[in-house]
Structure 1
């Protein structure tokens, strides 16, 4: 398989997981699938494959002592860009899965944060942090209110 085919396959591979978390978060199958770390294994293996195919003495030196110009040159190569993209896929899915499970655990609404995480991982993480904080701060009963209700 070519780098392009593996790249395209990885993009398709992640879609069912994101679809389940976004559109069917309460479904038992979603919970069963997302409790497993197995979906990450093929992506990690692909990342390692891309990484080992792009690392050489020059690129390893550039990554060991990162300078922006060297990193830009490194990612200008197709294999290196695929490596970076595989890294994004793994880490964004991992963070999206964490957001999903935090929502399940706390009851905080997560759909918007998971969607943002799919397209811009750090923005989705920030969205969840702010949503969780806002929910806890303004919409959760305080200890005093809980005591008087119970």
Structure 2
């Protein structure tokens, strides 16, 4: 089950990134990325999180490990929680949703600053591969780019 959900969320995220990078930035495309990509990932995350936290599903701990204790907000607590396939998939979906949302914001911000698509691609790919690093790179770059009169930041 968890592998299927992992595969599903990856397909949704990859589709969103492909639309964002490859297609013209029409409002319908951006809405598809926002609701069909980010929104669907967020909804999937929420359902999985409620099922996991509510003990509605078996988190399937890794072979040879003890069942997960109650969540403890510490490095040890996180290590214990992420021994389960369920927690890995829920956490991964969290990353996918927020990284795609950050990519969408970068694309809209760059378009508003009249930054060409080829210049945007490295920032979008960096955000796809290493979310905060790509976002940080864009935040630095945008300091040096002209803002349109109708900036949405």
Instruction: Give the TM bin, normalised by the shorter chain.
Output: 0.7 to 0.9
1:38 aligns with 2:48: no
Q: Stretches of 4+ moved more than 6 A in 1?
A: none
Structure with more helix by fraction: 1
Larger Rg: 1
> How many residues are matched?
129
Quick check: 1:74–1:80 contact (8 Å CA) kept in 2?
A: yes
Instruction: Provide TM-score, normalisation by structure 2.
Output: 0.75
Q: Aligned-pair RMSD on alpha carbons?
A: 2.0
**How far is the alpha carbon of 1:16 from its aligned partner?**
2.2
Match of 1:147 in 2: none
Q: How does the TM-score come out when normalised to structure 1?
A: 0.76
Matches within 5 A, 1:3-82: 3-24=2-23, 27-29=24-26, 31-35=27-31, 37-39=34-36, 40-55=38-53, 58-59=69-70, 61-62=71-72, 66-82=73-89
Gaps of 5+ in 1: 141-150
Q: Is the 8 A contact 1:53 1:79 kept in 2?
A: no
Unaligned runs of 5+ in 2: 56-68, 148-153
